[in-house]
Amino acid sequence: MASGIRDKVALLGMGCSRFGERWNDNAEALILEAFSEALDDAGIEKCQIDAAWFATAIEEQHVGKSGIPLAMALRLPLIPVTRVENYCASGSEAFRGAVYAVASGACDVALALGVEKLKDTGYGGLPQRSRGAVNDMYWSNLSAPGAFAQLATAYQAKHGVAREDLKRAMAHVSVKSHANGAKNPKAHLRKAIDEDRALNAPMIADPLGLFDCCGVSDGAACAIVTTPDIARGLGRTDLVTVKALQLSVSNGTESQHNSWDGSHFMTTRVASARAYEEAGISNPREAIGLTEVHDCFSVTELVTMEDLHLSPEGGAIKDVMDGVFDAEGPLPCQIDGGLKCFGHPIGASGLRMLYEIYLQMQGRAGDRQRSTEPTFGLTHNLGGFPHQNVCSVVIVGQEGA
């Protein structure tokens, strides 16, 4: 029986570039920016890193394929570099590779770094690209907002929710993230908005308006991980360790079998349940102090609260409107602004989420610091579409908790 990852690996250092429209920087500059911060934080030399995992999702738009771009950007000393891509879970996938390498004993110190340059397309939103030779011939002409917007229609139908009530809760989600992003100097979008502005924005994919959609950004983030013993040997105390690393990938049930109603994420329910078990958490709503979830769209965040078993099924609208997930609420979500406002450079996003939780656990989150440092924090990525996706759930926490 596998014993899981709990407390086997510690975060030694983390870094994150400023996210946003980095018109004057290539991906290599963003990589260096995030890595330099992480290396300083870790207090080690570059040559102490044994292996690296490199995440980018839309590499054609910037660095191209393989692990070489990372090795060249950082002049890594001919160590193994693995490039990973798993839709929007790519960053968390890189982290998983590095953590598993350390846990296995194959490496003492490993690096996970994600980067994306999305602002070189000439238009707003994600790049419109081929989905694969066969898929292009029969997949619907879907965009990310159009795929996720369908959660809203199915959720309304399933729970008998009025469109206006769901729209208002979605607006609350976005207003909250904008307020949080305004306090984050590295965030892409730093202006607060009010509910009216969110509700009256131009429609992108019905019922998602402009402010229901996250920023599409340039940016990089990274983590350096090692064993708790090595971290202590380097003089580190109050370690933040990895409690759970889970991934769940759609097998076609949602898109091809009539057992799924379209109102929730099958994968998230499975991945989060496995993660809580791996982390030894029996009551997540009580235990988790902070979440960074994949709020690519406001409705995604809302539904995800249920699929992470933090809100009861059908109860997310009430929790959102009650302020449960606000920065001052009992279970803040996207306290750094989230994908919505910190931004969403795909390959970097999972690592950016961990970065915020890591800072919050160490009391280093500046203006947005929680008064009580969280014991457990959870990150969640959702790559692809509600009907066909890759879901990652990572839990980190204070060592021994």
Partner 1 sequence: MAVGIHAFGGYLPRRRLSRQIVVEANAWFAPALKGLGRGERAIANWDEDPVTMAVEACRDALGLLDRSTLGALWLASTTLPFEDRQNAGIVAEALGLDSTVRTLDIAGSQRAGTSALLTAIDAVAGGAGPVLVTAAEKRRTRVASPLELTSGDGAAAILVGEGDGGAVVLGAATETADFVDHYRGQHQDFDYVWEERWIRDEGYQKLVPVAVERALAAAGVGAADIQHFCFPTSTTRVAAALARRLGLSDGSVRDNLQVSCGETGVAHPLVMLVHVLQQADEGDLILVTGFGQGGDAVVLRVGAGLADRQPVRGIEGSLAAGVSDTNYQRYLAINDLITIERGLRAEVDKQTGLTTLYRNRAMLLGFIGGRCRACGTPQYPASGACVNPDCGATGPQDRYPFADRSAQLNSYTSDRLTYSPDPPAYYGMVQFEGGGRAMIDFTDVDPGATLEVGVPMRMVFRVKDYDPMRGFRRYFWKAMPVLPSAPAEE
3-class secondary-structure state, position 335: coil
Q: Which is nearer to partner 1, 36 or 253 (CB)?
A: 253
Pick out residues in 183-202 that bind partner 1 (CB under 8 A): 202
Cβ–Cβ < 8 Å for 250, 215: no
Cβ–Cβ < 8 Å for 44, 234: yes
Size of the site for partner 1 (CB under 8 A): 46
Q: Which residue has the tokens 């292009």?
A: 136
Q: Which is nearer to partner 1, 64 or 125 (CB)?
A: 125
Closest CA to 242 of 400, 15, 5: 5
Closest CA to 390 of 398, 400, 380, 399: 380
Q: Which is nearer to partner 1, 153 or 362 (CB)?
A: 153
Is 178 a catalytic site residue?
no
Pick out residues in 202-261 that bind partner 1 (CB under 8 A): 202-206, 208, 251-253, 255-259, 261
Tell me which of 151, 170, 288, 293 binds partner 1, using CB under 8 A.
151
Min CB(258)–partner 1 separation in Å: 5
Q: Which is nearer to partner 1, 261 or 286 (CB)?
A: 261
- The region of 71-79, 143-151, 225-233, 313-321 touching partner 1 under the rule CB under 8 A is 143-151
Min CB(396)–partner 1 separation in Å: 31
Q: Which is nearer to partner 1, 280 or 314 (CB)?
A: 314
Min CB(136)–partner 1 separation in Å: 8
Q: Which residue has the tokens 């607006």?
A: 171
Min CB(129)–partner 1 separation in Å: 7
Q: Which residue has the tokens 């309304």?
A: 156
Is 344 a catalytic site residue?
yes
CB within 8 A of 317, min separation 6: which ones?
A: 161, 165, 166, 169, 302
Min CB(56)–partner 1 separation in Å: 20
User: In whole angstroms, what is the distance from residue 327 CA to residue 145 CA?
Assistant: 25
Catalytic residue, candidates 88, 213, 214, 391: 88
Min CB(273)–partner 1 separation in Å: 16
Cβ–Cβ < 8 Å for 294, 304: yes
User: In whole angstroms, what is the distance from residue 293 CA to residue 301 CA?
Assistant: 7
Task: Say what the alpha-carbon torsion angle 379, 385, 387, 389 is, to the nearest 10 degrees.
Answer: -50
* Rg for the chain, CA atoms, rounded: 20
Catalytic residue, candidates 178, 294, 309, 344: 344
> What is the phi/psi pair of residue 305, to 5°?
-55, -35
Min CB(139)–partner 1 separation in Å: 7
Amino acid at position 138, single letter: Y
Q: Does 146 bind partner 1 (CB under 8 A)?
A: yes
- The region of 99-107, 141-149, 179-187, 231-239 touching partner 1 under the rule CB under 8 A is 141-149
User: In whole angstroms, what is the distance from residue 276 CA to residue 268 CA?
Assistant: 12
CA distances to 54, 259, 400 from 241, rounded to whole Å, are 21, 38, 8
Tell me which of 40, 47, 68, 139 binds partner 1, using CB under 8 A.
139
Tokens linked to 364: 């280093």
**Contact pattern for partner 1 over residues 95 through 134, marking x by CB under 8 A:** --------------------------xxx-x--xxx--xx
Identify the DSSP state of 5.
S
* Positions marked active-site: 88, 344
* Residues at the interface with partner 1 (CB under 8 A): 121-123, 125, 128-130, 133-134, 136-143, 145-147, 149-151, 153-154, 156-157, 202-206, 208, 251-253, 255-259, 261-262, 385, 387-388
